[in-house]
């Protein structure tokens, strides 16, 4: 059974509170990194996997996208997105990314922000994305950085090691990780950078960029607490392009 923790009322309230601060983690670090890799959006058909309350969809519409389809497992998130966005060029679907059915070659761009670490098997999802994209179509996604998901202990300090540090362990053990974030028992799936990258390549994508963004000097000056994200990478972002299928030789 797939986890749908964003529909937990307590989790939802906590998460929406967190995201309401525009200078926060997502706005200062994740969004600029993902947005820096986007092609011009005008006239594009865009798929957003794990779209949440539709922030990216709203951005795409402002930039002239022809259509954005947001897919999310959470009913609450999709309701929020539908309440915020009343534009005929946007549609939203409550469906797990793993079960979503795509039409071949129907999108120019697929984006997924901070969702895939909740998905158990990434390879079928990448295959689906490849099917959904036109040739040379763009795929950009961000996940919680594998350095962060390896142990999920968070920042630590002790009498022996008083300096606050982020321990990494069991890096190569690509299994479930359970954490407490707003509620107990939030499940994530740890994968290495190697796995994310090679799964993309094996699915037929050319890697265009890999980013490990942190806050800018300006962002840290405005919000000094963001400086901890310069000490270890909080996010991994990968951008790929769907390669042409090899031609059969006669």
Measured in whole angstroms, the distance separating CA 9 from the mean position of its chain's CA atoms is 22
Cβ-closest position to ligand SAM: 52
Is 53 in contact with 75 (CB distance < 8 Å)? Answer: no
Asked if 143 is part of the footprint of ligand SAM (rule: CB under 6 A), the reply reads no
Asked if 85 is part of the footprint of ligand SAM (rule: CB under 6 A), the reply reads no
Q: Which residue do the tokens 């969004």 mark? A: 31
* Touching ligand SAM, residues 106-135 (CB under 6 A): 113-115, 118-119
Where do runs of H (alpha helix) occur along 38-140?
A: 55-62, 75-84, 122-132
Asked if 203 is part of the footprint of ligand SAM (rule: CB under 6 A), the reply reads no
* Host H or E run for residue 186: strand 183-189
Among the listed residues 38, 68, 96, 149, the single contact to ligand SAM using CB under 6 A? 96
Is 124 or 224 the residue whose CB approaches ligand SAM more closely?
124
**How far, in Å, CA of 226 to CA of 220, rounded?**
6
**How far, in Å, CA of 2 to CA of 5, rounded?**
9
* Closest distance to ligand SAM from the beta carbon of 50 (Å): 3
* Touching ligand SAM, residues 59-78 (CB under 6 A): 72-74, 77
Using CB under 6 A as the criterion, which residues of the chain lie in contact with ligand SAM when the complex forms?
Answer: 2, 6, 50-52, 55, 72-74, 77, 96-98, 113-115, 118-119
């Amino acid at each position: 059974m797939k986890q749908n923790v964003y529909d937990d009322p307590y989790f939802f309230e906590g998460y929406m509170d967190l995201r309401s601060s525009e200078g926060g983690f997502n706005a200062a670090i994740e969004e600029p990194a993902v947005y820096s890799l986007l092609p011009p959006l005008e006239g594009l058909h865009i798929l957003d996997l794990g779209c949440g309350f539709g922030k990216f969809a709203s951005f795409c519409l402002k930039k002239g996208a022809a259509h954005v389809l947001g897919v999310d497992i959470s009913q609450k998130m999709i309701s929020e997105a539908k309440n915020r966005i009343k534009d005929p060029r946007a549609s939203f679907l409550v469906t797990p990314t793993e079960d979503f059915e795509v039409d071949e070659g129907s999108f120019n761009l697929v984006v997924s922000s901070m969702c895939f670490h909740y998905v158990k098997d990434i390879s079928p999802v990448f295959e689906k994305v490849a099917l959904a994209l036109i040739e040379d179509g763009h795929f950009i996604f961000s996940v919680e950085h594998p350095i962060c998901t390896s142990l999920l202990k968070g920042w630590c300090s002790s009498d022996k090691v008083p300096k606050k540090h982020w321990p990494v362990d069991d890096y190569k053990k690509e299994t479930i990780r359970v954490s407490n974030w707003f509620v107990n028992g939030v499940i994530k799936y740890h994968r290495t950078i190697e796995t994310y990258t090679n799964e993309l390549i094996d699915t037929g994508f050319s890697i265009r960029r890999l980013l490990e963004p942190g806050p800018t000097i300006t962002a840290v000056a405005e919000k000094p607490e963001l400086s901890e994200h310069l000490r270890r990478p909080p996010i991994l972002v990968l951008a790929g392009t769907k390669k042409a299928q090899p031609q059969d030789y006669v």
